[in-house]
Amino acid sequence: MSVQQSQGIQTLLEAEKEAAKIVQQAREYRVQRLKDARAEANKEIQEYKKAKQEEYKKLEGDHIGTTQTSQSAIDKETEAKVKEITAQFEERREKVVEKLLGRVVLVKPELHRNLKKVEA
């Protein structure tokens, strides 16, 4: 009986070693699959990013002409308004200076309304 038990134990030990190998292989396979999945995900992310960059550059290229046209129109309008304001300034400068000098030079001395006359 001891030989049979010894053989049974030996068989169990071999089965346990085989099971440990299978478990180790499964772990290695799982780790490899995770690495592959990450690499594939990174590849997809890079492709998506590249596609979006190209889409953005195309959209930017389509709108750059509109932006330049708008900018030139705004520049012309601004220049016209500046010329108009400068013309109004030149036209009204003398009148404003005269009014300011008139107010500064015109002095009417009078007592303050809170000042009371002291009777002796």
**Which tens digit of pLDDT belongs to each residue from 79-105?**
999 999 999 999 999 999 999 998 888
Residue of 25 and 9 predicted with greater confidence: 25
**Which tens digit of pLDDT belongs to each residue from 16-65?**
999 999 999 999 999 999 999 999 999 999 999 999 999 999 888 877 76
Is this model's pTM higher than 0.75 or not?
A: no
Helix (H) or strand (E) holding 111: none
What backbone torsions phi and psi does residue 45 show, to the nearest 5 degrees?
A: -65, -45
Q: Which amino acid is at 61?
A: G
